[in-house]
A and B are shown apart, each in its own frame.
Chain A
Amino acid sequence: MSAMKTSFTRLALAAGLGAAVAVGGVVAASAEEPKRGGVLRIVVGSKIPSYDGHRESTFGMIHPIRPFYSLLIRVNPDDPQSSDFICDLCEGDLPAPTNEGKTYTFKIRQGVKFHDGTPLTAHDIVATYNKIIFPPEGILSNRVSRFSMVETISAPDDFTVQFDLKYASPGFIPMVATPFNFVYAKKDIEQKDPEGKDPQYGMKWHQNNINGTGAFSFVEHQPGAFVKGKRYEDYHHEGKPYLDGYKAISAPKMSVRIQSIRGGRADIEFRGFPPKSRDDLVKALGEDITVQESAWNCTFGYAGNQTKPLFQDKRVRQAMTLALDRWGASNYLSKIAIVKTVGGLALPGHPVATDEATLKTYYGYWPDIKKSREKARELLKAAGAEGAHFKIWNRAVDQPYKVVGTWMLDQWKQIGLDVEQVVVPTGPWYAGLRDPDAFDVAIWPSCQSIVNPIVDAGAWLSKERAADNRGYYTDPVLDEWYDEMNREGDPAKQKEIYRKFEKRVLHDEAHFGQVLWWNKINPHRSYVKGWKIAPSHYLNQSLDQVWLDVSDEERKQRTMDELGG
């Protein structure tokens, strides 16, 4: 038996369960005294488009750039599995809403400075959120409509920020904690073009420049190769960061990322590896590798295209979901693919997520797969759709798309359906999803950063309201329940509405088939300490908690090699 140190963490978002749960092996002792110094080497599987978090949405930007910036509030780095948010640039506890849940007032930390020495005030926060929520015409901001509840943002004084909402919304605080909401300096946002050509120069300045209040300050970016940062000595969380710096190396090919950890060229990769790669690394490195695992806030589902007659009959859609052996797949498919957790529309463990007993009453979640498939055949017969032919429109990416798509094909064949799989590159795949004539059944994934199921449920609204509705259906009942849920202040009532909403999507109408939730696997060198896996690869990336448990000489050497002393 390998002596690997394994800190398998299990999602424990439910109230009170916050901390990661150790299932086996040895969890890195939190009482260890962090050592200062050294440079962390990260491998990143995607490229940086621009540095501007407000406009981008890829982890290829978050992993190398997030450590330069702070947020107003963030996921608790000590317990990233919980739905616990803490202040980053604000101080004290998170504010309780006033004015019937429509006003949030944040007190801003004093003494915080941007990397260029500019002191941070509430006006910087206001300018930042105005750029995110109310960008001027011509400025791209990718989360405008998710902040639709916000009416105004103001600064009553230099260290107070007030958000006034149009209506009380439980989705507001999680949206503020979104890791893309980098806080910028007002003077940077408002600066003028030195050449006088571009009136929106300041609004675009952060696309190619960096000036934050994060744990690390910018050193160098060699496009396509790496980004380097060094410790920011005036960082506002005292005593942190522990590292002298970090280097995020771009390595798009997964085999390079895996081998670079094995071969000592990198220490960690934050997105996640397939189970086979985890096993290979553990086999090769034994106790030198630590594996952290977590349920991942990414759904993997499908939708029948309801502009096509076959999928307009809900009995066909129900038969399709009944055919899938989710509980079995959670055991065997998870050995080869990055999917594992059986769940409904909300990430299991979250307060609004459905409990297992209720879930097992929904079509497709029955524990007895034989009985489930008998029912599926009955429904197909009643719908006159026995042996019906359709194609799965899938993305040419192995994990988890092709692997799970192939498994789904087999599952549907077992109830007599005649299924083919069409696998296309990412660009044409997206283009096809936007054209209802292009596909029969779409693979429909959704990866979010903050676990915010109430807001995220917007994906399953009618096609007139949800641009990414892959089933092309119209369901006014869902639309009504969604609005009701989003304006409901009482969590118990909200959960009740969510339950109705979810049952209609998955069972009654079977508009969407949630197959399995993704499973995040992060093997890293055992000497990397202080980083805890979150349920999203976008979260907990400030790196201020991370330290290296290697000798003093090695830490010094790393600093010398990468930062020159």
Chain B
Amino acid sequence: MYKYVVKRLLLLIPTLLGAAVLVFLLLRAVPGNVCELRLGGGGEWVDPAALEQCQIQLGLKDPMHVQLYDFLTNFFTFNFGESMWTGRPVAFEIALRFELSLQIAIMATLVSILVAIPLGTISAIKQNTWIDYVVRTISIAGIAIPSFWLGIIIILGLLITTQAYLGTPWMPPIDYRPLWEDPGYNLSMLIWPAVATGYRYSAVATRMTRSALLEVLREDYVRTARAKGLLEKMIINRHALRNSLLPVVTIIGIEFAFLMGGLVVTEQVFNLNGIGKLFVESVGNQDYVMTQSLVMLVVTIFVLVNLVVDILYAVLDPRIRYS
């Protein structure tokens, strides 16, 4: 197992290298640059000399191979550079937002697990009953509805209902306070995006739990357990559910990694100062340094989460051994 983990971690290096070259080239294939946006994005008159100087200072006038070499050597020596937009260290900008994104990812994952596993299990056990139909309708709706749209509906719903019943419209806070500083304020802000993203996330996991459990329930060892006269509850909990969790864990892992950098629209809808919003702004501002670093961060998270998922397989199913 130890060797397997080391091998997987070493594979991270070529993966990151490939991703780095790809993102470097793709970003520069888009015309325009950060200086033009920064100095004249608002439609104000731009001094051509200032524009030129800005491009020189940010290294945009250097040949492409020099820019690529600088990026790769800096990245692999953990020097992530400074944002071309704010001039602050990239590591500082990301660290500032990481906490919020992580909290949302954890909350949405909790919502998902708490909803998906019980509902998926009930749906499988009560297959083709009205309960199953209701659960399937809810989960299909969850897959079909984009979480940012649900977010907008939640905000509008809160505004309209609070105005109708309390007389004053209320909406969640739009500036972040850490959980340990002001838990009430923090949760009143983050519970809504967690629900909006957790719903879609749980819908996928519910579907997966249901289908995996249905498959396991048809296995010979389940029939044997029933023939032995074991209680149905024990069959489900001890034998069927545990064995059906492998694909569910995979889905949860991938979704968790996605939430760490992929909540680009939902974070904007709720004005969350997280990694996703930073991603959108960096791409929009053509801030190459920040965008490259964010892509590398997301790639790293995906690789590491997949590794954790693989290790969890062995924990859940003792037949799986890595060497």
Q: Are A225 and B175 in contact (CB under 8 A)?
A: yes
CB-contacts of A415-450 with B (<8 A): 425-432, 445-449
| Given A145-B47, A146-B47, A264-B169, residue A140 in contact with residue B57 (CB < 8 A) | yes
Q: Are B169 and A140 in contact (CB under 8 A)?
A: no
* Contact code string A274-304 (vs B, CB < 8 Å = 1, else 0): 0000000000110000000000001000000
Q: Which residue of B lies closest to A260 (CB)?
A: B174
| A497 part of interface (Cβ distance < 8 Å) | no
Q: Which residue of A lies closest to B42 (CB)?
A: A58
CB-contacts of B36-66 with A (<8 A): 36-50, 53-54, 57
Q: Are A448 and B284 in contact (CB under 8 A)?
A: no
Output the residue of B38, B42, B54 with the most chain A CB within 10 A.
B42
CB distance from B150 to the nearest CB of A (A): 14
| B168 part of interface (Cβ distance < 8 Å) | yes
Q: Are B38 and A49 in contact (CB under 8 A)?
A: yes
Q: Which residues of A contact B269 (CB under 8 A)?
A: 253, 255-256
* Contact code string A250-264 (vs B, CB < 8 Å = 1, else 0): 111101100110111
* Contact code string A42-60 (vs B, CB < 8 Å = 1, else 0): 0100111110000111110
| A226 part of interface (Cβ distance < 8 Å) | yes
Q: Are A446 and B45 in contact (CB under 8 A)?
A: yes
| Given A140-B50, A207-B87, A224-B97, residue A459 in contact with residue B45 (CB < 8 A) | yes
Q: Are B85 and A47 in contact (CB under 8 A)?
A: yes
Q: How many residues of B contact A (CB 8 A)?
A: 54
| B30 part of interface (Cβ distance < 8 Å) | yes
Which residue of the partner chain, among B36, B49, B96, B156, contacts A430 with CB atoms under 8 Å? B36
Once bound together, how far apart are the Cα atoms of A223 and B96, in whole Å? Answer: 8
Q: Are B96 and A222 in contact (CB under 8 A)?
A: yes
Output the residue of B38, B93, B169, B174 with the most chain A CB within 10 A.
B174
Once bound together, how far apart are the Cα atoms of A208 and B86, in whole Å? Answer: 9
Q: Which residues of A contact B152 (CB under 8 A)?
A: 255
| A266 part of interface (Cβ distance < 8 Å) | yes
| B163 part of interface (Cβ distance < 8 Å) | yes
Q: Which residue of A lies closest to B92 (CB)?
A: A223
Q: Are A262 and B171 in contact (CB under 8 A)?
A: yes
Which residue of the partner chain, among B30, B173, B277, contacts A265 with CB atoms under 8 Å? B173
Q: Are A262 and B159 in contact (CB under 8 A)?
A: yes
Q: Are A58 and B171 in contact (CB under 8 A)?
A: no
Q: Are A55 and B50 in contact (CB under 8 A)?
A: yes
Q: Are B40 and A449 in contact (CB under 8 A)?
A: no
Q: Which residue of A lies closest to B160 (CB)?
A: A284
Once bound together, how far apart are the Cα atoms of A249 and B85, in whole Å? Answer: 18
Q: Which residue of A lies closest to B274 (CB)?
A: A224
Which residue of the partner chain, among A56, A145, A428, contacts B32 with CB atoms under 8 Å? A428
| A468 part of interface (Cβ distance < 8 Å) | yes
Q: Are B45 and A263 in contact (CB under 8 A)?
A: no
Once bound together, how far apart are the Cα atoms of A47 and B85, in whole Å? Answer: 9
Which residue of the partner chain, among B31, B41, B54, B174, contacts A266 with CB atoms under 8 Å? B174
CB-contacts of B140-172 with A (<8 A): 152, 155-156, 158-159, 163, 168-171
Q: Are A265 and B284 in contact (CB under 8 A)?
A: no
Q: Are A253 and B268 in contact (CB under 8 A)?
A: yes
| B271 part of interface (Cβ distance < 8 Å) | yes
Once bound together, how far apart are the Cα atoms of A448 and B47, in whole Å? Answer: 13
| B8 part of interface (Cβ distance < 8 Å) | no
| B204 part of interface (Cβ distance < 8 Å) | no
Once bound together, how far apart are the Cα atoms of A336 and B268, in whole Å? Answer: 24
Q: Are A446 and B43 in contact (CB under 8 A)?
A: yes
Name the 8 nearest CB pairs between A and B, nearest first.
Answer: A427-B32, A263-B171, A431-B31, A447-B43, A431-B32, A467-B48, A225-B273, A428-B31
> 24 interchain pairs (CB within 8 A)?
A57-B46, A142-B46, A143-B47, A144-B47, A146-B45, A207-B87, A223-B93, A223-B96, A224-B93, A252-B268, A253-B269, A253-B271, A255-B152, A255-B269, A259-B171, A260-B174, A265-B171, A265-B173, A426-B32, A427-B284, A428-B30, A430-B32, A458-B45, A468-B46
